[in-house]
Each structure stands twice: as structure tokens, then as C-alpha cells.
Amino acid sequence: MKNIVLTGFMGAGKTTIGKALAKMLQMKLVDVDEEIEISQKMTINDIFRIYGEPYFRDIETAMIKKLSQNKNCIISTGGGAVLRDENMEALRENGIVFCLDASAETILERTGNNQDRPLLKVDNPKEKIEELLAYRRPFYEKAGVMISTDGKTPLQIAEEIGELYKCRK
């Protein structure tokens, strides 16, 4: 069976919804960022701080290509994975891509106190979220099936994705 791939901006709910989906569909959940941290033996924050974003994106692409070879699992990507066509091509090869969408307000609410978001370590996080969302929106829109997460529970979103997945696999 094909993988379920979850992409979308940070704070859109990829990890939380991935866990709900994994339980509901009895599939393994693989988080790209977690796998990167394990393989690099350091946090994403440290990778960004020490080596920079371009280095991180190269590692991310290598990990996505590796994890995309899996079958019948849920793959949760980082928010910027959509920026490289080769990432999306690899993910689509064995998977159906669902892009979780959330408003800037929802994202700020979900990420506001989280210090593990290197791109939001700025004076005005809401402004940065709006800037990044505007830039990434075209990438997200062509990534796959768009699912709005605003005002929905993780279970509602997981059920929506589960139904769409059953129709497309």
C-alpha cells in the first residue's frame, strides 16, 4: 500500500495528526526531522545554528529519498520539504501527499512558546510566519491534497485524510 505523506507549514499539525492517523490506520509513523536528528546526533536547531539552512536542506533531501522507499507508512515531513521538487517527486513515488494548511494566527498559537523552531527565532514571529507562508503557499498548493486544519480537532483531520486515502490508494 502507498504511504501517506503529511506536509505543510510548521505548526500545521503534521506530527499530531500523523500520530492520530498511525493509531487509526495501524500504520507506522516516520518523522523526517526526528530521523535527521537521530542520524546527525544533534537537534534541528543545532544543525541550523552550526551548519546553516542549505546544509540542513541537503540532509533533509537525502533522508526523504531514503524514507520514501518505505511502503505502507505515514511520513511526516518538515515544513520546508516542499521547496525542492526532488523531495516531492520522491515522496509521490510511493505515497499520496496531503498538505496540512493553517492560518498564520493558528500557526502562531501552536508554535508561540516552542523554542525548537529555528526559523521563528526572530523579533516578530507572526510577521515571519506570514512572510514564509506567502512564499511557500504555491509550493504547498501543488504538493498534494490540501486539508485545512483551522478549527478542527486532530481526530477530525485524521478521519478526513483516512477517507481520502482509502479512495486514492
Domains of the chain: 3-164 (3.40.50.300)
Q: What residue type is 27 in one-letter code?
A: M
Mean pLDDT computed over 59-63: 98
Q: Are 57 and 84 in contact (CB under 8 A)?
A: yes
What's the CA gap between 42 and 163, in Å, rounded?
Answer: 37
- Cβ–Cβ < 8 Å for 2, 142: no
The pLDDT score that the predictor gives to residue 10 is 86
Per-residue pLDDT tens over the stretch 73-122: 999 999 899 999 999 999 999 999 999 999 988 988 887 755 566 556 66
3-class secondary-structure state, position 148: strand
pLDDT, position 119: 59
- In this prediction, residue 110 carries a pLDDT of 80
Order the strands of the 95-101 sheet from edge to edge: 28-31, 73-76, 3-8, 95-101, 145-148
* pLDDT one-digit tens code per residue, 122-144: 677 788 889 989 999 999 988 78
* Section 46-52 average pLDDT: 94
Q: What is the pTM of this model?
A: 0.90
User: What is each CA distance from 142 to 22, 27, 83, 146, in whole angstroms?
Assistant: 25, 25, 11, 9
Q: Quote the pLDDT of residue 16.
A: 93
Which SS3 state, helix, strand or coil, does residue 124 take? coil
Q: Categorize the per-residue pLDDT at 11 as very low, low, confident or very high, splitting at 50, 70 and 90.
A: confident
- Of residues 3 and 119, more confidence is placed in 3
Q: Mean pLDDT score of the chain, rounded to an integer?
A: 91
